Amino acid sequence: MKVLIMTGSAHKKGTTAILTENFIKGAIEAGHDVYRFDCAFKTIHACIACERCHTDHSGCVFKDDMEELNEHLLDADVIVFVSPIYYYAMNAQIKVAIDRFYANDEQLHGHKKAILMVTMADDIVETADGAIAAFKGTLRYLQWENAGMVVGISCGNVDALNKTDYPKQAYELGRNLK
């Protein structure tokens, strides 16, 4: 199975990086082909809804790192969204890439699974409600299957995360992916 992991955090050794690494370990052990795309370290322009991608079929008006992502996005069987929750939703770095899915809208419908993994300093799950709602809405619209979630509360830093079972949950999600 081909797995695309899209991360949003600019912290290379932060809480979502640990979830990502654990998920990748499990997925590779299970024999899956994994590609990681770290949105925060890429140049991605925001969609401007110019409609060029839908009117002349020459693709997006922007020629940026989405060209790298698109190949893996279209080919993947599973898309994993990994984001810190800063303010009630997935962070801007990953959201800008998700908005650019628009250029591939027709090809993305159906036949994929998706996973959401988030961490936050807050101690209530409701803080992630915006991210969870966006994730579920995207799945419904694209007709993708929900393959699981890890919602890490009270994980404001790596030490706090390591006192939880969230890294193990991420590993198990990757290991048990079917």
pLDDT at 58: 76
pLDDT at 59: 81
pLDDT at 56: 83
Answering whether pTM is above 0.85, one says: yes
pLDDT at 107: 94
Helix (H, G, I), strand (E, B) or coil at 44: coil
pLDDT at 11: 96
Report how far apart, in Å, the C-alpha atoms of 61 and of each of 15, 46, 55, 93, 173 are: 34, 11, 11, 19, 36
State both tokens at 95: 């959201």
State both tokens at 177: 């992916």
pLDDT at 57: 73
Cα 21 to Cα 4: distance, rounded to the nearest angstrom = 13
Cα four-point dihedral sign 49, 142, 2, 57: negative
Whichever domain contains 105, its CATH number is 3.40.50.360
Q: Per-residue pLDDT tens, the chain, 178 aa: give them.
A: 999 999 999 999 999 999 999 999 999 999 999 999 999 999 999 999 999 998 887 789 999 999 999 999 999 999 999 999 999 999 999 999 999 999 999 999 999 999 999 999 999 999 999 999 999 999 999 999 999 999 999 999 999 999 999 999 999 999 999 9
Phi, then psi, of 82 in degrees rounded to 5: -125, 120
Instruction: Find the domain containing 60 and state its range.
Output: 2-175
Q: How many domains does the chain have?
A: 1
Residues 6+ apart with CB under 8 A from 66: 44, 45, 60, 97, 100, 103
